[in-house]
Structure 1
Amino acid sequence: MTTAMAAVLGPGAATAASAPDAFYTYTGSKPLADYAPGAILKTRTLAYSLAGLSLPVRVKQIVFRTTNQRGRAVAGVTSVLEPLTGATSKVIGYQSFYDSLNPEDGPSRAIAGGTNPGGLAAHFETAMMTQFLLQGYAVVIADTQGPTADFAAGPEYGMVTLDSMRAALAASGTGIAPGARAGLIGYSGGAIATNWASVLAPAYAPDINRRLVGAAEGGVLVRPSANLRYIDGSLVWAGVMPMAVVGVARGFGIDLTPYLSDYGKQVYAKLQNASITQVLGAYPGLTWKKLVKPAYVDPASIPIFVSTVNKLNLGTRPNPTIPMFIGQGTLGEAEGTLASKAGLGPGDGVMIAGDVRSLARKYCAAGVRVVHHEYPLSHFSSVPVWLPQATSWLTARFSGTTAPTNCSTIKAGNPLTPLKPA
């Protein structure tokens, strides 16, 4: 849920509005529901644009049919960065950590020349993926949060990611060879998409699951009900609470405003189109208690919250069938989040290390080959350590060699039990 761009822009950075591009809107007469998931609706080819400066990378943007959190057919968008060395049979699905409630902050917009500060993370992330382009891979970057920017609605992230890959592999003129294999990678918000795609692929997209060589992720969100407790009152990450309330309410089509305090309603209204850059450090010490009416200081006292947040608990979902690389920081104090929350243990400031360990062990028990690492670093500072490990591991998966595993050394973590109603 963070980027180095957030640190550059600073807390509370304003988001300039970019004019919506009609390309991203489906206007056909045929109902979207009549198309199969992943079906290509329209395409265009352009040069990668860094705020108006064209770079020597050709991009095919694809509007495709996908599924939102409520099971409805919607139009998604993805960008295929074409390989620099000719046709390729290797594809990287890179899931962005753009983390925004504004659809205009999606990476597709930035790649096409958009200048919203909330979307500029895409350029930093493309730089992270340059090594794959230079090695001849194609890189697929979807707007994983869907057309309405349903922040934190994990299953939707996963379905959009999988349908994006379907569209990218089926499109012509991308430099992707028939029968290409694919790997997934993402950090933080990108890990939400990566993990949910891995979990959902066997049932939702078995055609894509067969092509996946593995998934690498870091800064992993496992059990949002616990993360809410972890960041409550923190210095940097507390503002993610109301942002997630907006995103989850939007994604699931529920109304949480009756439970909010007057202050909570003010923040809720203010953040309707906010990006992560606007909330990091902007609400130091903010608590759930301040956001809600006195009767709801215990989140478990809100039935619709309980049922919804439990749908986002990866610990209760099926296991992936592909190898996984999982990295997680443990020094959240460096970003103002204490490790003294009852029963949760340390984390990186926003994600909980014990939850991640339990998820990794769950996958190991199901026969998944997992490599899991913990770093004595925060969410921000774990990235430069995680990235070379993750990319090296993922590159090796395309060789066809058996994936390594350190399952036997992963220590016990937290119970991934669902939130119980109060």
Structure 2
Amino acid sequence: MRRTAIGSLATAVATVLAVTALPATTAAAAPSASSGLTASDDSFYTYDGSKPLASYAPGDVLKTRTLQYHVLGIPTPVQATQLLFRTQDAQGRPSAGVTSIVRSPSGDGSKAVSYQSFYDSLNPADSPSRAIAGDVSLGGLIPNGESLLLVPLLLAGYNVVIPDSQGQTADFAAGPEYGTNTLDSIRAASRAPETGLDSRTRVGLAGYSGGAIATHWAAVLAPSYAPDVNRRLVGYAEGGLLVDPAHNLRYIGGSAVWAGVAPMAVIGAARAYDIDFTPYLNSYGREVFDKLEHASIVNALGQYPGLTWKKMVKPQYADPNSVPAFVEAVNKLNLGSAATPTIPGYIAQGNGGVFEGTLSNLPGIGRGDGVMVAGDVRSLARQYCDKGSAAVKYRQYDLLSHVGAAVPWAPTALTWLNDRFAGKTAPSDCGRIPAGNSLAPEVPTGS
């Protein structure tokens, strides 16, 4: 059973990532019509209670529904429970989040995996819960494809929790908000009897790329924000992690495939922290930002080759650090300045970004997997080792890109999580992780 599940997971990852890497011409032909409940007519997502949202505790369940799990708008025999719950946004304000829970046919509710999707979109309509409820959108192709990844987990006896980790305003790349949404999703799932989970259920965190952002920020914030959840976490397994967004902006600038993700991340951070970047943009920058305001990653990959920060801003802002709002945002999102997880972790990272058209090798940044900077991830892992935190297993794939590294990551992540649930001692690579980059906060120009 275990070997079969692992093999199935590797095959599923390859299939899902093939969808993620669709070229622009194929993506443009993908379905954009809606089937089933649509983002505009589904009242489930709106909190309409008489009590103020702030009067509820984080993780309190506000609404519950059970529906058929849909794939590409087609209902399957599998049922999912969806919850509207109270959480908070990046600025600590009360908000309502949504999560979906699928029960294992062979599980007893004692263990669950919180799987964070890499749906990576600035459009709430592309969230996993919308896809599960039956929506079909271009950006929703990713969570629809990720349905394949749930099968090995369900077969292994795990109930699976799938949060809309970016929140209902789709604040792409706003890591702290990803973390609170994920942790409160686990709280909500443990409080709703329909899910089969309760306050004793042990939970593992897993996610790749955008899902790694949510996974890691949940692990970082859990000790302070959700100690009740942290006590039940067995570990986090992730790959392709965003650590220092300022480095990533420079790394992917001018690249062939990933350059368009940079303005998406700036838009997401601006949305999360109520920052107006318009005064800094030139006419072309405003055009790009307007076009991507509600875009999915599939609208950006490969469609802005050669795009750089400098091409989008007025001449006096050619240095990103000359924009105070930029410095403020990226420093809030820098994991190097965040707390240290108290649970063991498995972190995988590709370093063959040249295969995805990212050729840069800038001083202090170096190479990566095409979008994520390998030196940043190494430094973060070493930082945890130096602070004596829980064990960190680190694996770098020098010949694999962002998409490619996910294939070996996924089955290894499942095996690693199985071992944590089994109570085995977590492996550590501390002392063997190569040096990386400085993760010091950005300093405004002229300071």
Q: Aligned partners of 1:340, 1:366: CA distance in 2, in Å?
A: 29
3-state secondary structure, aligned to 1:255: coil
1:201-350 matches, cutoff 5 A: 201-350=222-371
Which amino acid is 2:18 matched to? A
3-state secondary structure, aligned to 1:185: strand
Q: Aligned partners of 2:168, 2:57: CA distance in 1, in Å?
A: 17
1:221-241 deviation line (CA, Å, top 9, x unaligned): 000001000001000010011
Indicate if the aligned counterparts of 2:368 and 2:375 stay in contact, CA closer than 8 A. yes
Q: Aligned partners of 1:58, 1:378: CA distance in 2, in Å?
A: 35
Aligned to 2:22: 8
Over 3 Å counting, the alpha-carbon distance change for 1:102 and 1:327 in structure 2 is same
Over 3 Å counting, the alpha-carbon distance change for 1:9 and 1:87 in structure 2 is farther
Question: Of 20, 23, 45, which residue of structure 2 is paired with 1:24?
Answer: 45
1:340-385 deviation line (CA, Å, top 9, x unaligned): 2222112000001110000001111222200000012000111111
TM-score by length of 2: 0.92
1:131-181 deviation line (CA, Å, top 9, x unaligned): 110111100000000010000110000000000000011111212355110
3-state secondary structure, aligned to 2:115: strand
Aligned to 2:95: 74
Q: 1:72: how far off?
A: 0.8
Q: 1:86: how far off?
A: 4.6
Q: 1:264: how far off?
A: 0.3
Between Structure 1 and Structure 2, how many residues are aligned? 421
Aligned to 1:415: 438
Which amino acid is 1:201 matched to? A
Which amino acid is 2:289 matched to? Y
Over 3 Å counting, the alpha-carbon distance change for 1:78 and 1:27 in structure 2 is same
Which amino acid is 1:405 matched to? S
Matched, 1:397 2:420: yes
Aligned to 1:374: 396
Q: Aligned partners of 1:421, 1:194: CA distance in 2, in Å?
A: 29
Q: Aligned partners of 1:357, 1:225: CA distance in 2, in Å?
A: 16
Indicate if the aligned counterparts of 2:23 and 2:301 stay in contact, CA closer than 8 A. no
3-state secondary structure, aligned to 1:371: strand
Indicate if the aligned counterparts of 2:68 and 2:80 stay in contact, CA closer than 8 A. yes
Question: Of 205, 210, 217, which residue of structure 2 is paired with 1:189?
Answer: 210
1:237-258 deviation line (CA, Å, top 9, x unaligned): 1001111121111111110110
Aligned to 1:116: 137
1:390-419 deviation line (CA, Å, top 9, x unaligned): 111011100112111111211111111111
Provide the aligned C-alpha RMSD in A. 1.4
1:306-331 deviation line (CA, Å, top 9, x unaligned): 11110111001110000000000000
Higher mean Cα deviation, 383-392 or 82-91? Answer: 82-91
Aligned to 2:127: 106
Over 3 Å counting, the alpha-carbon distance change for 1:56 and 1:178 in structure 2 is farther
Indicate if the aligned counterparts of 2:107 and 2:159 stay in contact, CA closer than 8 A. no
Aligned to 1:351: 372
3-state secondary structure, aligned to 2:378: helix
Q: Aligned partners of 1:12, 1:243: CA distance in 2, in Å?
A: 21
Q: Percent identity?
A: 59
Q: 1:287: how far off?
A: 1.0
3-state secondary structure, aligned to 1:92: strand
Higher mean Cα deviation, 3-12 or 409-418? Answer: 3-12
Aligned to 1:48: 69
Spell out structure 1 runs of 4+ moving beyond 6 A: none
Identify unmatched segments of 5+ residues in structure 2. 1-15
Q: Aligned partners of 2:18, 2:120: CA distance in 1, in Å?
A: 12
Indicate if the aligned counterparts of 1:157 and 1:192 stay in contact, CA closer than 8 A. yes
Indicate if the aligned counterparts of 1:261 and 1:291 stay in contact, CA closer than 8 A. yes
Indicate if the aligned counterparts of 2:85 and 2:97 stay in contact, CA closer than 8 A. yes
1:57-100 deviation line (CA, Å, top 9, x unaligned): 22100000010012111110000011112532010000000000
Indicate if the aligned counterparts of 2:382 and 2:430 stay in contact, CA closer than 8 A. yes
Aligned to 1:388: 411
Matched, 1:406 2:429: yes
Indicate if the aligned counterparts of 2:375 and 2:436 stay in contact, CA closer than 8 A. yes
Over 3 Å counting, the alpha-carbon distance change for 1:11 and 1:333 in structure 2 is farther
1:171-196 deviation line (CA, Å, top 9, x unaligned): 11212355110000000000000010
Q: Aligned partners of 1:323, 1:353: CA distance in 2, in Å?
A: 20
Matched, 1:139 2:167: no
1:25-80 deviation line (CA, Å, top 9, x unaligned): 11112111111001000000111111332223221000000100121111100000
Q: Aligned partners of 1:246, 1:310: CA distance in 2, in Å?
A: 15
